[in-house]
Structure 1
């Protein structure tokens, strides 16, 4: 068992077999990271993966991977629509020096692979190194170095002023989902800034509830309680919650100093 969902485990098993066949000798291992690795995955989570390779996919291997990811969402079932991850070469996956290298990336709910740095982050490396679930291959700690806490803190300090601006171009603030995602993202960044570690969405919200000023507890409680509403394009933010979120953003960004 990799997760608590039998359907997802079956998908991951077949997916790992397929990419191993496609990549051949360049396949090193396949791993789950993200919320499922942190023990917090639920039906509102995507399942994040990293496939480690000796070299970045190219040529026929890249073409076959593109066909695979175009086909997976057409299969029946729930989890075929909710996988996300990247194909990372072991050299750039190893440590900080590999940051900035684009990896072949499957975005949540998308069928077309792109070259992107989405998963090439200290955040991903920390989760992999400390909590990654091995689907196939050597222990992930053999492939990923420890992430220095101060390096993670510095990355979060740089990210704080960009959180709100980075969300706007791809997620509408007219949606309740975006309001909740924004608050949660700030909490995760603040948690990493404070601890030099990475928490799940729920874990970061609970930490914020305990450690930030009590005035923010109603907002944090609303975000936690409303997670079950999921993503709904017709679901607007609760009255007043967006203004509270913008105020929380100002408060959170003050920690960058």
Structure 2
């Protein structure tokens, strides 16, 4: 039976009901279950969050199923509701999902707000399956613990460390340094990576910032407070970073790479 109240937003619950019933009809016996991960699973989802989902399938969708799923996600953002344009997720193959041996395999994926699906490793990452197993919200299907084996904390830590040396360059290669949202994103990603390296767990954006205020060098608190306070401003491509804040964000990312 479909979970009627997976989030505190009635309109989002309706969109998720649409998504799951469409996926069940298309996938038939290949459908295993549908789940929320990401910020909503971590208890931090709000109207500034995307809604991260995973639909677990027994095998890669065949050509007809893939075409039908692509059409569902082509139409969803055009249905007019707020949350129709804020879904992000993948159709995860159950055998890939079960252990970390399946990491890096491509799944059918739709990016936040996109109407075009691609094959991507975006959701096939250690932190995704950790959130799913430890905190995932079941929309319909078996308990996530039956689908995902525990993710070793060494895998989480190593993955978090791996990209820190080039984090600022990697983020600002696709996210313009002239946009305030990108400054905040860089600080958040550095904070989440540091949290994972130190704890072997995964935190929401908000909780990672608050944790970093307590555990990082105190000189970074004004920057972290600024990013936390500005989070509700959302993405505005015309909004420039506060003066000097992008340089501070780069310096914080460098600090995290050093201490991690």
Match of 1:169?
A: 173
Match of 1:53?
A: 57
- Whether the 8 Å CA contact 2:192–2:203 is kept in 1: the answer is yes
Alignment of 1:19-34 (within 5 A): 19-34=23-38
- Give the superposition deviation at 1:246: 1.2
Mapped pair 1:196 → 2:196: no
Unaligned runs of 5+ in 2: none
The farther-off stretch of 158-167 and 38-47 is 158-167
Match of 1:94?
A: 98
TM normalised by structure 2 equals 0.97
Match of 1:134?
A: 138
Deviations, residues 145-167 of structure 1 (Å, cap 9, x unaligned): 11111111111111211322321
Match of 2:121?
A: 117
Mapped pair 1:81 → 2:85: yes
TM normalised by structure 1 equals 0.98
Deviations, residues 108-138 of structure 1 (Å, cap 9, x unaligned): 0110100000000001011000000000110
- Give the superposition deviation at 1:53: 0.3
Measure the CA separation in 2 of the matches of 1:12 and 1:152: 29
Measure the CA separation in 2 of the matches of 1:168 and 1:242: 10
Mapped pair 1:219 → 2:223: yes
Give every structure 1 segment of 4 or more consecutive aligned residues whose post-TM-superposition deviation is greater than 2 Å.
Answer: none
Mapped pair 1:62 → 2:66: yes
Cα RMSD (Å) of the superposition? Answer: 0.8
- Give the superposition deviation at 1:168: 2.1
Deviations, residues 156-211 of structure 1 (Å, cap 9, x unaligned): 11121132232123211110000000000000000000000000000000000000
Mapped pair 1:160 → 2:164: yes
- Give the superposition deviation at 1:76: 1.5
Match of 2:249?
A: 245
Deviations, residues 197-241 of structure 1 (Å, cap 9, x unaligned): 000000000000000110000000000000111000110000111
Measure the CA separation in 1 of the matches of 2:201 and 2:134: 10
Give the secondary-structure state (helix, strand or coil) at the position aligned to 1:88: strand
- Whether the 8 Å CA contact 2:165–2:254 is kept in 1: the answer is no
Deviations, residues 72-98 of structure 1 (Å, cap 9, x unaligned): 000011000100000011000111100
Number of matched residues? 256
Give the secondary-structure state (helix, strand or coil) at the position aligned to 1:28: strand
